[in-house]
Chain A
Amino acid sequence: MFKIRKLLALVTGKALIALSRALGGQGTNLPGRLASFIYPPLLSELSRNITGACFMVTGTNGKTTTCNLAAAIIREQGFSIVHNQAGANMLAGITTAFIQNSDLLGQRTHDYALLETDEANVAPLLQIIKPRYILITNFFRDQLDRYGELDITVKLISSAVKGTGIELILNADDPLQSNWPSLTGLKCLYYGFDHTAYDNLDSADSRECRYCMLCGHELEYSYYHYAQLGRFQCPHCGHHNQQLDYVGSELSLEDGIAFKIGDLHLESRLQGFYNAYNILAAATLALESGFGKDIIKRAIASHQPAAGRMENFIIGGKQVFLILVKNPTGFDQSLAMLTGDIHTKNIFMALNDNAADGRDISWIWDTQVELLARSEEKITGLICSGQRSGDMALRFKYAGLDTSKIVIEPYLRKAIERTLGLEGQVTYILCTYTALFACRKILLRLRDR
Chain B
Amino acid sequence: MAKFVIAHMYPDLMNLYGDRGNLICLQKRLEWLGQECEIRKCFLGDQVDLGKTDMFFMGGGSDREQELVFQDLRTRSEELWQAVQDGLPGLCICGAYQLLGEFYKAADGTIMPGLAFFGLHTVAEPGRLIGNILIEAEIDGSPSSIVGFENHGGRTYFDDPELKPLGKVLRGFGNNGKDKTEGLLYRNLVGSYLHGPLLPKNPVLADFFIHAMAERKRISIDVRLDDGIETIAHQQVEKMLA
Contact = CB atoms under 8 A, between A and B. Distances in A.
A216 B17 contact: no
Contacts of A21: none
Nearest to A366: B18
Nearest to B149: A360
A398 B12 contact: no
Given A145-B151, A149-B62, A390-B233, A360 B17 contact: yes
B105 to A, nearest CB: 17
A397 B12 CA distance: 25
Given A359-B131, A394-B233, A144 B200 contact: no
Contact of A207 (B12, B25, B151, B234): B12
Interface string B23-63: 01100100000000000000010000000000000000011
A391 B65 contact: no
Nearest to A390: B233
A394 B138 CA distance: 24
Contacts of B21: 362, 365, 395, 398
Contacts of B233: 388, 390-391, 393-394
Interface in B169-206: 195-197, 200-201
A359 B233 CA distance: 15
B111 interface: no
B195 A394 contact: no
A363 interface: yes
A388 B240 CA distance: 10
A408 B232 contact: yes
Interface residues of B, number: 40
Contact of A391 (B15, B16, B236): B236
Contacts of B17: 144, 360, 362-363, 366
Contacts of B130: 145, 359-360
B7 to A, nearest CB: 16
Contacts of B235: 390
Nearest to A396: B229
A207 B68 CA distance: 17
A394 to B, nearest CB: 5
Interface string A360-372: 1111111000000
A144 B197 contact: no
Given A360-B151, A406-B229, A365 B24 contact: yes
A390 B234 contact: yes
A150 B232 CA distance: 31
A151 B201 CA distance: 28
A51 to B, nearest CB: 42
Contacts of A364: 18
Given A145-B130, A210-B12, A393-B233, A150 B20 contact: no
Contacts of A399: 24
Given A148-B153, A394-B201, A408 B195 contact: no
A149 B65 CA distance: 12
Contacts of A40: none
A140 B20 CA distance: 17
Contacts of A148: 128, 151, 153
Nearest to A217: B68
Given A390-B229, A406-B229, A149 B16 contact: yes
Contacts of B195: 360, 362
B153 to A, nearest CB: 7
Contact of A362 (B18, B24, B44, B63): B18
A393 B43 CA distance: 31
A363 B228 CA distance: 22
Contacts of A403: 226, 229
Nearest to B13: A211
A149 B17 CA distance: 10
B224 interface: no
B64 interface: yes
Nearest to B8: A205
B215 interface: no
Nearest to B23: A365
Contacts of A346: none
B237 to A, nearest CB: 8
Contact of B64 (A151, A365, A389): A151
A387 interface: yes
Nearest to A391: B233
Given A360-B149, A362-B195, A363-B18, A390 B236 contact: yes
A206 B11 CA distance: 9
Interface of A: 144-145, 148-151, 205-207, 210-211, 216, 218, 359-366, 387-391, 393-395, 397-400, 403, 406, 408, 410
Top 5 closest pairs, chain A to chain B, by CB: A390-B233, A365-B18, A365-B21, A362-B18, A362-B17
9 contacts: A148-B153, A205-B11, A363-B18, A365-B20, A365-B197, A391-B233, A391-B236, A398-B21, A398-B200
Interface of B: 11-13, 15-21, 24-25, 28, 44, 62-65, 68, 128, 130-132, 149, 151, 153, 195-197, 200-201, 226, 229-230, 232-236, 240
